[in-house]
Amino acid sequence: MFWRTNTAVGERVILVEAMSQDLRVTLRNLTVANALRRIEPARLVVFSGADEGWNNIWTYFEIEEVRALAEAYGADVVYDIHALVDRRVAGDAEPTLVDGVDLGGDLPESGIPAETFDQIVYATACRMAKIARLGDSAEHREILARAEVRSREFARVYDAHLRADDVVALITSHVDYNNFGLAVEAALRHDVPVIFPQSTGGLKAYAMYPEKQDPRLPIRANLTEEIGLFFEEHLWPNREVIGAGRDLVLYRLKASLGRPAWWRAEGIHSQIQLRNSDQRTAVRTPAAARVGLDPALPIVSVFNHAVSDALGTNVECFADLGAWFEETAAFAADHDQVGWLFVDHPQQDLYDDHGFFEAVAAQYADRPHMAFHSSLDLSKTYLTALTDLVLTVRGSVSNEYPAFGIPALQAGWSEWSTCGFTTVAESVPDYFALLDTHLKGLLVGDVLITPEQVERARLWAWFYRSASDVSSVFVGHWDLGEGDQLFSNLEVSMRQVESDGDPAFSAVRRMWRRREPFLTRMDWRRDAAALADDLAEVTG
């Protein structure tokens, strides 16, 4: 009832993805879509479903639950695109009308560049196989072939949608793999903006606008550059006003209060219980004994990635995330003047069930200066006490550790890598040259991170966890879960909140009209005095 009376239906279409098993994800997509419909009257066309590969990863998918939710949010059409793709792969040429568009029969090839298509197919196959890279086995060839034929049909269907409908925007929870990523590629080629809400916090979302995309870069790289520009234009000049809010968020970050404390469990295990350098020094000795390294030596921590996750979607130095880890381990083997701590991903099994981490560890079992450990066997207090330098490609450790004065070297781009608080390598030779320079600095006692970099990292933590996280009663906080409590809260909110009374509406309107790359709690383009007042109010 709420959305029927608080949105505007028009002739145009908003395409909404609903392919997650978690209803909180779909709820965010639908809420953003309905907030956008208040600005751009449109109908909602929702595509959903899952295939065998995704069900093996996510364990379940109930399309009827998704359909009921989408229809409650005013969707005009909800259809199972995975079932449609399967029929097309099987050679079913029967007409299939979806919102008046025939998605059956002999659809033309999409306009996606071959190199981009091949990259998406390969990344999808690696994710389905849960492996860092594909080999030449019959099993891997079969997985790749299945991903290729299904990807071709996904691409045709998405292009047919976007050619036939007057599409306002695509709303999607992911921009990777064939089922999500090919929709994003098609939308941007057809001059349709993409908004992708995040699975964390209140209401967080990024946006991609066709006029701002450089087709020569991977899909996430343009966003990285836009974030860096926004940081320099708005956050850094206001750092003094933001100070109080920044310090509060830093406390929450240390205490692991609220998402995103990515991947690790909540509680004392994920808290950093160090208040000063003296405590860090005291804890370092038992922590080093735990992992078998010399506490007197500098220690470099190498954080393994979810090795099959979203390959090739941003700028990276190495061929893949596994190659970075393997080649870093080989480098470490020849540099015993420092200690090396290699830790796996906290949810390694979701992304690798072929023993990648264990295989690398076995190669260097005879190297006493190299230790391989499960990250969940070590508290963040121990990890922080041990780590003198962080190595990663794009991991969140590269924004967390610099906020506590620990330098990070990245072998690729992340959302924040143009914000000036990490060192970012441009190539494989550059990465190892920078790593060698960092090691020499550690050995002579140099401080490898500047006070400005620490300040920048703390500003990013505040912006990510607070200023770009919109508190909306129409989605509820992520930590409410997806059960009865969430939906009871939504029902109360929709009965009681005035139609213009939720920050989601103004945040989406501001982002959309100003072509900003993310939702924000406040208007960063107000005059300086007014913005300072707003920041003072928000940060205390």
What integer pLDDT is reported at residue 264 of this predicted model?
A: 66
What integer pLDDT is reported at residue 126 of this predicted model?
A: 95
Global confidence as pTM:
0.94
Contact 282, 416 (CB under 8 A): no
The domain defined by 232-467 folds into Rossmann fold (3.40.50)
Dist. CA 198–CA 291, nearest whole Å: 35
| SS3 call for 238 | helix
Contact 241, 536 (CB under 8 A): yes
Contact 187, 194 (CB under 8 A): yes
What integer pLDDT is reported at residue 325 of this predicted model?
A: 98
Q: At what angle do helices 239-255 and 451-462 cross, to 10 degrees?
A: 80
What integer pLDDT is reported at residue 540 of this predicted model?
A: 61
**For 146, what's the count of Cα atoms within 13 Å in the CB-facing half-sphere?**
16
What integer pLDDT is reported at residue 260 of this predicted model?
A: 53
| SS3 call for 374 | coil
DSSP label at 177?
A: I
Residue 269's Cβ-count burial label (10 Å; 0-12, 13-18, 19+) is middle
What integer pLDDT is reported at residue 243 of this predicted model?
A: 83
Structure tokens at 98: 């979806």
Contact 67, 78 (CB under 8 A): yes
Structure tokens at 27: 């709820």
Alpha-helix residue ranges (DSSP H) falling in 355-502: 356-363, 380-386, 397-400, 428-443, 451-462, 484-496
What integer pLDDT is reported at residue 531 of this predicted model?
A: 77
Helix H or strand E encompassing 162: helix 138-164
Phi and psi at 294, nearest 5°, equal -80, 115
Contact 333, 364 (CB under 8 A): yes
Structure tokens at 41: 């009257």
Q: Could you tell me which residues come within 8 angstroms of residue 502 by beta carbon, excluding any fewer than 6 positions away?
A: 472, 473, 474, 493
Q: Could you tell me which residues come within 8 angstroms of residue 265 by beta carbon, excluding any fewer than 6 positions away?
A: 376
**For 155, what's the count of Cα atoms within 13 Å in the CB-facing half-sphere?**
22
* Share of the chain residues as helix, strand and coil, in percent rounded to the nearest 5: 50, 10, 35
Mean pLDDT per 10-residue run, the chain (540 residues)?
Answer: 89 96 94 96 96 81 94 96 95 91 92 95 95 94 96 97 94 96 96 96 95 92 96 93 85 70 65 89 96 97 94 95 98 98 90 93 98 92 96 94 96 96 98 98 97 96 92 89 90 82 92 96 83 72
Structure tokens at 13: 């279409």
What integer pLDDT is reported at residue 505 of this predicted model?
A: 93
E-state strands within 469-540: none
Dist. CA 206–CA 414, nearest whole Å: 14
What integer pLDDT is reported at residue 213 of this predicted model?
A: 93
User: In which region does residue 331 sit, left (phi positive, over 0), alpha (psi from -120 to 50) or beta (all else)?
Assistant: alpha
Q: What percent of the chain has pLDDT over 70?
A: 97
Domain extent listing, the chain: 2-106+158-219+476-539, 232-467
Contact 24, 199 (CB under 8 A): yes
What integer pLDDT is reported at residue 50 of this predicted model?
A: 92
| SS3 call for 271 | coil
Distance, C-alpha 156 to centroid of its chain: 26
Mind listing the pLDDT tens digit for each residue in 217-269?
999 999 999 999 999 999 999 998 888 888 888 888 887 766 554 566 666 77
Would 2-106+158-219+476-539 and 232-467 be classified into the same CATH topology? yes
What integer pLDDT is reported at residue 448 of this predicted model?
A: 96
Dist. CA 415–CA 460, nearest whole Å: 10
What CATH class is the domain 2-106+158-219+476-539?
A: alpha beta
What integer pLDDT is reported at residue 259 of this predicted model?
A: 56
Query: Interior CA angle at 269 toward 265 and 336, to 5°?
Result: 110
Alpha-helix residue ranges (DSSP H) falling in 190-276: 221-230, 239-255
The candidate with the shortest Cα–Cα distance to 84, out of 3, 156, 11, is: 156
Structure tokens at 428: 């494989």
Query: Interior CA angle at 464 toward 461 and 466, to 5°?
Result: 95
